[in-house]
């Protein structure tokens, strides 16, 4: 899911291929998928199994970076197997393949909310066209490579983390998340009253075709107006502005003081679209001490550079705690750097923001 490209060239030599496990009850599909991946030197097929139980055992005992998981299988289906795979200490990425679940559907978004990296519609075994193969490899090529996951911070004692003072101003709130971030965002926003007079910006690592349903679910859950960010769109207080899936959400303050959306497609450190760093950097530039950044569950370190910018501008950061995170990479990197004013579960984050906003009002 997280659109971070497999740029396999490292300054110190090429990266190793990504180890892939194929899970499908059809032997034909397993053979086709293995052949497709074997033809791409970015990937190495380390195994192919026919059931969820076999997949769980394989991941427990063998090195795996990425699991291609069939949604419909006898016994445990993909949604049942997914959380067990994600609970592995190996920090695997899971892409669900479904012959019946439409990309961008509510079931697909549910899988993403549970921590899947992507959901791709799968044709029947005899209809793996060149277009599908190209589409699949493109989607897999926008996932976090193994070396990036290996740089995820180790678990630290949150009680000993160095915390900054709480912010005293809330002019805008920016929320960034990736794997496991969707459910955290919903919980966080439920702690904010719909009438809060500050804009909210959200960058969640999601493919573009999921953004409309994500925005719809945000509206249903929060009763706030929700818009997908467009170039030149005026920023409005009380509105949730969601980064599109094919560009970064940035901001500019015009001569008369009006803040508008700017979309950027410049490659950032993590190569993702959308990335959290550009949003945080823009908030620091536009809102200064009134910028409140929130970093939620996700692999890697997207958001760390932007968090530095918010702190340097006088704003403040909140990180999701380890216990409630599906992956404590992104929030852990901010906590470890001593940039967070609080490390909390999502529900408490919303309450804290509301308290600080009401205190300053």
Q: Which of 142, 205, 241, 248 is catalytic?
A: 205
Catalytic residue, candidates 24, 65, 118, 302 = 302
Longest Cα–Cα distance of the chain, Å, equals: 64
| Distances in whole angstroms, Cα of residue 267 to Cα of each of 12, 60, 61, 273, 295 | 21, 35, 36, 8, 20
Enumerate the H helices of the chain as residue ranges.
27-38, 52-61, 78-86, 106-114, 130-140, 146-150, 181-190, 211-222, 276-287, 304-312, 330-336, 346-360
In order, the DSSP letters of 184-223 are: HHHHHHHTS-TT--S-EEEEE---GGGHHHHHHHHHHHH-
* 272 in catalytic set: no
Between CA 70 and CA 78 the distance in angstroms is 6
Residue 205 known to be catalytic: yes
- The closest alpha carbon to 249, from 230, 268, 226, belongs to 230
Inter-CA distances, 293 with 64, 274, 318, Å: 33, 16, 6
| Cα 120 from Cα 343, distance rounded (Å) | 34
**Length of the chain, please?**
361
CA distance 13 to 167: 43
Query: Catalytic: which of 178, 250, 272, 348?
Result: 178
Active site residue 157: no
Say how far apart CA 170 and CA 193 lie, in whole Å: 14
> Which residues are designated catalytic?
178, 205, 302
């Amino acid at each position: 899911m997280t659109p971070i490209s497999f740029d396999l060239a490292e300054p110190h030599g090429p990266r190793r291929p990504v180890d892939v496990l194929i899970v499908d009850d059809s032997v034909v599909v397993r053979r086709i998928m293995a052949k497709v991946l074997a033809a791409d030197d970015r990937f190495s097929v380390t195994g192919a199994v026919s059931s969820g139980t076999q997949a769980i055992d394989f991941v427990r005992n063998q090195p795996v970076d990425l699991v291609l998981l069939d949604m419909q299988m006898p016994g445990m289906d993909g949604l049942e197997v997914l959380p067990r795979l994600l609970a592995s200490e190996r920090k695997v990425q899971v892409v669900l393949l479904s012959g019946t679940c439409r990309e961008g559907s509510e079931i697909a978004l549910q899988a993403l909310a549970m921590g899947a990296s992507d959901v791709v519609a799968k044709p029947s075994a005899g209809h793996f066209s060149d277009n599908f193969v190209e589409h699949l490899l493109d989607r897999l090529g926008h996932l976090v490579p193994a070396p990036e996951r290996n740089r995820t911070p180790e678990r630290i004692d949150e009680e000993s983390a160095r915390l900054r003072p709480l912010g005293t101003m809330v002019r805008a709130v920016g929320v960034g998340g990736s794997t496991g971030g969707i459910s955290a965002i919903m919980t966080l926003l439920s702690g904010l009253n719909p009438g809060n007079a500050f804009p909210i910006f959200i960058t969640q690592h999601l493919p573009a075709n999921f953004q409309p349903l994500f925005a719809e679910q945000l509206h249903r859950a929060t009763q706030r107006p929700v818009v997908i960010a467009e170039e030149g769109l005026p920023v409005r207080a009380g509105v949730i502005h969601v980064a599109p899936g094919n560009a970064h959400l940035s901001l500019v303050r015009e001569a008369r003081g009006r803040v508008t959306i700017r979309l950027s497609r410049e490659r950032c450190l993590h190569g993702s679209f959308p990335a959290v760093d550009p949003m945080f950097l823009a908030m620091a530039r536009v809102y200064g001490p009134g910028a409140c950044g929130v970093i939620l569950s996700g692999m890697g370190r997207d958001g760390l550079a932007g968090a530095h910018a918010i702190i340097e501008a006088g704003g403040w950061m909140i990180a999701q705690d380890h216990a409630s995170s599906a992956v404590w990479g992104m929030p852990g990197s901010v906590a470890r750097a001593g940039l967070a004013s609080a490390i909390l579960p999502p529900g408490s984050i919303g309450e804290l923001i509301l308290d600080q906003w009401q205190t300053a009002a």
